[in-house]
Amino acid sequence: MRISRMFYRTMKEVPKEASIPSHQLMFRAGMIQQVSSGIYNYLPLALKSIRKIERIIRDVLVESGCEEVLLPVVQPAELWKESGRWEYYGDELLRFTDRKDNEFCLGPTHEEVITDMVRRNLKSYKQLPWNIFQIQTKFRDEIRPRFGLMRGREFIMKDGYSFDTDSEASRETYYRMYKAYEEIFRRTGVDFKAVEALTGNIGGSLSHEFQVLADSGEDLIISCPRCAYAANAEKARTVFPVDEAEVTTTESPADVHTPGAGSIEEVSAFLDRSPRDFIKSLLYRVDGKPVLVLLRGDREVNEAKLLAVLQGNTIGLADEETVQSLCGTETGYVGPVGLNDKVPVLADRSVEGRSGMVCGANRKDYHKINVCWERDYKAEIVDDFSFARSGDPCPECGAKLEEFRGIEVGQVFHLGTKYSESMNCTFLDSEGKEQPVVMGCYGIGVGRTMAAAIEQNHDESGIVWPVAIAPYEVVVMPLQMNSSEVIEAGEKIYRELLEGGIDALIDDREERAGFKFNDADLVGYPLQIGIGRKSLEKGVLEIKIRKTGEKLEMSPDAVVSFVS
Ligand code: ATP
Ligand code: MG
Ligand code: MG
Ligand code: MG
């Protein structure tokens, strides 16, 4: 490409809402234009980089056995009503009606559409596994679009979905995609960390986010300097100050199946809220019925304790009748429950006139009932549990946890059967029995990854692209446009670079050397080749490495092999 023909203009001033470096630099380098709040034109330089990120994603996913499709942006409300998310998704879902009054939305994510696509083809276990992705425009009516492409309303996402016959196979797929994500972000050249995460609007029980570490990141990451433990602060755990030795089980509280119990996955799928809201929802509403979480202590402590259970255990919910039949109205001891066999966390009695219970269990659908706190367990109730913050002990190894800011560029979710059950996406297993397919889903923000790379790689002069995702790898700059020798030498190198498969461009504008250098630094081409009259006389060219500022001189013949 010739800069003289490029649709391109750099800017000196930045709009005042551009508060972080990546937004400012993308604007100044002429990469993006805002059309409306959170909605952008991607100009040629931005699209070049985006295409490279997409290419890396495609390469790695195809190597990992995934197949590409393209699903519609416009999605019928019926599918969202089937999954239950038409009601639960909230205002981020942009809804509208067509001329015949049919309801639609713009896809913020594609679980419904893909589950529908798959159920129409899926008959037998022999067809599985399937792992399907797309790279496509999403729309989310973000409450506060900001930071340029980082949090847009319309944005490009890679979203992938896996379909397996059972939970074990699905988990294997999950960890294979986790590995694929590590490879993708490694190839793009960003410094990242995979962290345990909550599942939010998407649902499921197991999830990791891929976070690019940067001071401007909106997320707080808690990680251990000694072991591999790392989590989004929303999810971070710490160890509980309860000694195993204090805990003794004397009687034999029966393991009983309690009706109304569900896994976290089921309950949060049903409530579709972030756990903090989820906890509030638990206090007030489950399946339309009021349910009270019976815990002693003030609300905040209760929330923290409940979260502990949510993080580590299945939970059980029951209505008044169930509680009464389990506990008897008067005595009403429920629990205790533990994060594991050793640490009881919750134990309480029903409160007069109120109903409901929550308890944890070590196995799905098994809860210890008719257990009496003082009689069966001698440990103290742990009231001082709190979310892990820096300085707290690591839940895995006890070392002091650290805090970082991060930008969430990708997230993987083990969904289980949330969508396949509600939308009836089933297959016949080897015994001819109908089973719901077990799903996972996997997202990467393509534009956000580009922005995050800039956030992490820039200096006072401009962007410092990781080579793999730089819009162009090399810029050739003839420095005196009134010299035919200089121009010819520049054109020759430019041609040779292109022939050598290098993604090069030439700054053939009638501009001064200083102007070209400033632009080259601002846009951040990894290698800049300056061709000036003086160095030509010496038979050399000047090459600047953007990242280090290092300058090398070499003969024109050596350039192509050096660059490649
Ligand atoms: P966030 O917590 O930042 O709102 P999210 O958890 O809602 O993101 P996911 O549903 O996990 O997002 O979507 C997958 C990926 O899509 C995210 O990891 C992120 O990289 C990207 N993404 C999500 N929302 C936006 C947005 N508004 N603008 C740009 N990229 C986004
Ligand atoms: Mg979001
Ligand atoms: Mg998030
Ligand atoms: Mg996410």
Kindly state if the Cβ of 107 falls inside 6 Å of ligand 1: no
What is the pLDDT confidence band of residue 562, given thresholds at 50, 70 and 90?
confident
Range of weakest confidence among 26-40, 288-302, 426-440 = 288-302
Q: How many CB atoms lie within 10 A of CB 561?
A: 9
* CB-count burial class (<10 Å; 0-12, 13-18, 19+) for 398: middle
Q: What is the mean pLDDT of residues 430-444?
A: 97
What is the pLDDT confidence band of residue 239, given thresholds at 50, 70 and 90?
low
Query: What pLDDT shows up at residue 196?
Result: 92
Kindly state if the Cβ of 411 falls inside 6 Å of ligand 1: yes
Q: Which residues contact 143 (CB under 8 A, 6 or more apart)?
A: 91, 92
What is the token pair recorded at 319?
């209505």
Query: What pLDDT shows up at residue 44?
Result: 97
353 has pLDDT over 50: no
What is the pLDDT confidence band of residue 387, given thresholds at 50, 70 and 90?
low
Query: pLDDT tens, 145-203?
Result: 999 999 999 999 999 999 999 999 999 999 999 999 999 999 999 999 999 998 777 77
153 CA: nearest ligand 1 atom: 27
Q: How many CB atoms lie within 10 A of CB 368?
A: 25
Buried b (16+ CB within 10 A) or exposed e, 399-429: eebeebebbbbbbbbbbbbbbbebbebbbee
142 CA: nearest ligand 1 atom: 27
Query: What pLDDT shows up at residue 496?
Result: 95
- Which of 50, 154, 276, 411 is the pocket-test mutation for ligand 1 (most atoms within 8 Å of CB)? 411
55 has pLDDT over 60: yes
193 Cα to the center of ligand 3, angstroms: 14
521 has pLDDT over 70: yes
What is the number of the ligand closest to the CA of 140? Answer: 1
At residue 441, φ and ψ (nearest 5 deg) are -140, 155
Kindly state if the Cβ of 410 falls inside 6 Å of ligand 1: yes
What is the pLDDT confidence band of residue 420, given thresholds at 50, 70 and 90?
very high
What is the token pair recorded at 62?
């195809």
Kindly state if the Cβ of 140 falls inside 6 Å of ligand 1: yes
- Owner of token pair 């949090």: 151
For 395-550, where are the E strands, in sequence order? 402-416, 426-428, 434-436, 438-445, 458-459, 462-463, 474-478, 504-506, 527-531, 541-545
116 Cα to the center of ligand 1, angstroms: 23
Give the percent of the chain with pLDDT over 70: 73
